[in-house]
Structure 1
């Protein structure tokens, strides 16, 4: 297999400029949301070499699979021959699983996560592993989205000096750049939807419990889920159909059998006519470019027959406060159990070991930011406080949040901009999130959340979020697909260079 980031090739050994230009041109075509078909694994691997390892050096892919080019075909299988990249906190039998940390650099478990096994059975070619915000962005303060000790800093293909958002940054950037047909990300709170939004692709966070989390490096048993990242709602639904289902090793999936359907069914004819769309205005921000795109998206949906309803919602600060308590407590329990169960001889077996490893390797691991979340999690041992926090945060996000808002105005779905435009990468000061969007509601409640591109500001993509209640995954995907067809905004294309004002 090929590990990255390896020492950068000497210029004489890099692909020639013509090959890089050709790869970028092809990426522009395949990275657009209208892409419907995948290329061969060999084509994608050549593109990874040309524009991820060389050229603009996106650093979206950490490792490629040794058998990708010789993967067997499965004629008639729903994903036969389609190349999929996997976020590097999800185990695959043929590649290490590092969560971006040097502490797990040699973590070759020899096992597939159930969702990966499901993808293989559906005929998908597992092309490689994507970079991520280290430990899925749950290590310390002032982190830079898309940076990990193993993979370096992922860049946004629309503007290579701009953030790819995190933690599924490599998955988002790779799909946008045409480095694979699609990718799998994971989310605890915003880690699929934000990277999808700023990289101009579709991302779907399913209901927690629809997809198994077994053999995925954990943060939160309450909120973690894997989900598809693709260039269209239909492709995301194809992936979800293959991934979803019950798993005895993950109790959260006990009800998944009743909800794991063919999610592509009815997408092509889904209509917005008569649907009531609730707009979270307070969560849409005041950035003129973002609000203009939102207004255009709402007008598109109204022309397609939807009824637009403004929703007045103010977030209770206790929801975020209590979410923090939940994440720290559940991370300590989850990561200790995961590390203790690893086969072989990993360098770390507990959160205590991780903290010590980072201190011992501070030059490589903590040059830019620390491990405040690890330290807080290590001390989060008060079960009664945790249970109270979980009950309260869930109540505010679910029953008194999304559920109440949908019921009050008889709504089918809630919408808001997913995030603002990508900000400048700054490893010293960390991320500068614009404070736009309402995805924490769906994340904390464990409800479905879809983001679909709705346009761009000066070449920087902006996504539109669709959220509904538990197990309403099919409804959300259908509404998103219907909007995708009704959309009139012109979508940006990756430019593979630092940001500059968009051409007139």
Structure 2
């Protein structure tokens, strides 16, 4: 039971980024196609009509990375084989090789976070210098599926070092290697490719039974909000500290209603404060982190470090490089002090399951909700301990021009409804606008 719970409450989330550093001067490719705001469908259509090649697309993105990354620090490194892979994709389209799957992602450059293993010339470091030069035994499961679909792994995206697992004092988006980063439709296409069983990840076997026949893209419906029951948990919106944002969310609630959604307001989740105090979650995550990281490091083909203890020692030895004096490594030390899954960890896992069952899961079931709405990623704690899906889409901008989101979360297997809700909301609001770098001297 303990082992199953470990998989269930795992703290590692694989995040795929479709690259969108799209602010260049020359952003068109034949017949007026704007690369900077093009969707996957737009790009595939341009491929089909020979208005664009994968090489041209990759060259554009590499140019944008070179131009913008010194300021944005969104990319840790680029794939030296990216242009070769682009040429390969162009050749496959030209020759229409029967053994090649020309999926929606074929020839599309994609960044993966630096905690997702790629068995190529890229490093795999979770943002830490401690893992620089390590060699993984194989691609991560999602990368295997992306390559099979013909996607081009363009490089590694920045992230918070060890995925927020090093210290509570590191700024969001900072890592030793990456420095300080600046912070629907395409996502559904990616989800269709990466969803499914990974033979090296037992948790995916259970999750795969929720994959809908026909894939996820079929749920991209402009009227997806119609008839959906969406819950508003009052406590979640206490995380909104700006009055203008509160007003924005009220406007969005009206939009949801106008588009046919039924909003169920003033909801409460049992033991909400205990859930967000996160004491049980921290106990479980600390023990899991050490167990899984040690296993990962042990199985590497080559690595400067072979255990969490080695990582901690590396940081102490290279304190200036890893800025240990500024940010510390408190979470790593907490994890290092654990000793497997003992009575305290088992009790924490049981408590998390109980809190979820009697809280979020009970609320959604009792109120017959399709989803719960929340500001930005505020619902993520509830979803993490429940093993449930969620989606975040653009909601607006602060007075300083910083974007913020609105999230929707549901029970396990609710991805189709969440995609309908998120896509319906996006089509109704059209919030997102191309980012501006007017304050940067480029």
Aligned counterparts of 1:234 and 1:470: Cα–Cα separation in 2: 21
Aligned counterparts of 1:115 and 1:35: Cα–Cα separation in 2: 19
Give the secondary structure class of the aligned counterpart of 1:89. coil
Q: 1:23 to 1:354 in 2, by over 3 A?
A: farther
Once the 2 structures are TM-superposed, how far is the Cα of residue 20 of structure 1 from its aligned partner? 8.2
**1:24-423 maps to which residues of 2 (within 5 A)?**
37-38=42-43, 40-53=57-70, 57-71=71-85, 72-73=88-89, 74-75=92-93, 76-94=102-120, 95-109=122-136, 111-155=138-182, 164=183, 233-261=184-212, 262-284=215-237, 285-313=240-268, 315-318=272-275, 320-344=278-302, 346-365=303-322, 366-381=324-339, 383-396=342-355, 398-418=356-376
Aligned counterparts of 2:199 and 2:173: Cα–Cα separation in 1: 32
Decide which structure has the larger Cα Rg and report it: 2
Give the secondary structure class of the aligned counterpart of 2:217. coil
Give the secondary structure class of the aligned counterpart of 1:109. coil
- After TM superposition, the structure 1 stretch with the greater mean CA deviation from structure 2, 278-287 or 312-321, is 312-321
Once the 2 structures are TM-superposed, how far is the Cα of residue 408 of structure 1 from its aligned partner? 2.5
Once the 2 structures are TM-superposed, how far is the Cα of residue 473 of structure 1 from its aligned partner? 1.4
- After TM superposition, the structure 1 stretch with the greater mean CA deviation from structure 2, 137-146 or 255-264, is 255-264
Once the 2 structures are TM-superposed, how far is the Cα of residue 484 of structure 1 from its aligned partner? 1.3
Aligned counterparts of 1:260 and 1:413: Cα–Cα separation in 2: 18
Asked if the contact 1:456/1:491 (under 8 Å) is kept, the reply is: no
Q: 1:441 to 1:293 in 2, by over 3 A?
A: same
Once the 2 structures are TM-superposed, how far is the Cα of residue 363 of structure 1 from its aligned partner? 1.3
Asked if the contact 1:87/1:129 (under 8 Å) is kept, the reply is: yes
Aligned counterparts of 1:477 and 1:33: Cα–Cα separation in 2: 20
Asked if the contact 1:134/1:147 (under 8 Å) is kept, the reply is: yes
Q: 1:333 to 1:457 in 2, by over 3 A?
A: same
Aligned counterparts of 1:69 and 1:341: Cα–Cα separation in 2: 31
Once the 2 structures are TM-superposed, how far is the Cα of residue 256 of structure 1 from its aligned partner? 3.4
Q: Which runs of 5+ in 1 are unaligned?
A: 1-18, 156-163, 165-232, 420-436, 500-504
Cα displacement string for residues 273-317 of structure 1 (whole angstroms, at most 9, x for unaligned residues): 222111122211352111111111111111111111114225132
- CA RMSD between the two structures: 2.4
Once the 2 structures are TM-superposed, how far is the Cα of residue 394 of structure 1 from its aligned partner? 2.8
Report the counterpart of residue 479 of structure 1 in structure 2: 421
Once the 2 structures are TM-superposed, how far is the Cα of residue 492 of structure 1 from its aligned partner? 4.3
Asked if the contact 1:442/1:448 (under 8 Å) is kept, the reply is: yes
Once the 2 structures are TM-superposed, how far is the Cα of residue 86 of structure 1 from its aligned partner? 0.7
Report the counterpart of residue 397 of structure 2 in structure 1: 456
Asked if the contact 2:112/2:156 (under 8 Å) is kept, the reply is: yes
Moved over 4 A (4+): 23-26, 29-36
Give the secondary structure class of the aligned counterpart of 1:84. strand
Report the counterpart of residue 228 of structure 1 in structure 2: none
Q: 1:313 to 1:286 in 2, by over 3 A?
A: farther
Aligned counterparts of 2:252 and 2:398: Cα–Cα separation in 1: 14
Once the 2 structures are TM-superposed, how far is the Cα of residue 266 of structure 1 from its aligned partner? 3.0
Asked if the contact 1:20/1:50 (under 8 Å) is kept, the reply is: no
Asked if the contact 1:24/1:51 (under 8 Å) is kept, the reply is: no
The counterpart of 2:411, out of the listed 454, 458, 469, is 469
Aligned counterparts of 1:48 and 1:23: Cα–Cα separation in 2: 14
Q: Which runs of 5+ in 2 are unaligned?
A: 1-21, 44-55, 94-101
Q: Which has the higher helix share?
A: 2
Give the secondary structure class of the aligned counterpart of 2:260. coil
- After TM superposition, the structure 1 stretch with the greater mean CA deviation from structure 2, 250-259 or 233-242, is 250-259
Cα displacement string for residues 77-129 of structure 1 (whole angstroms, at most 9, x for unaligned residues): 22111110010111111111011111111113263111101001111111000
How does the TM-score come out when normalised to structure 1? 0.71
Aligned counterparts of 1:33 and 1:448: Cα–Cα separation in 2: 27
Aligned counterparts of 2:326 and 2:38: Cα–Cα separation in 1: 35
Give the secondary structure class of the aligned counterpart of 2:170. coil
Aligned counterparts of 1:20 and 1:404: Cα–Cα separation in 2: 45
Asked if the contact 1:134/1:148 (under 8 Å) is kept, the reply is: yes
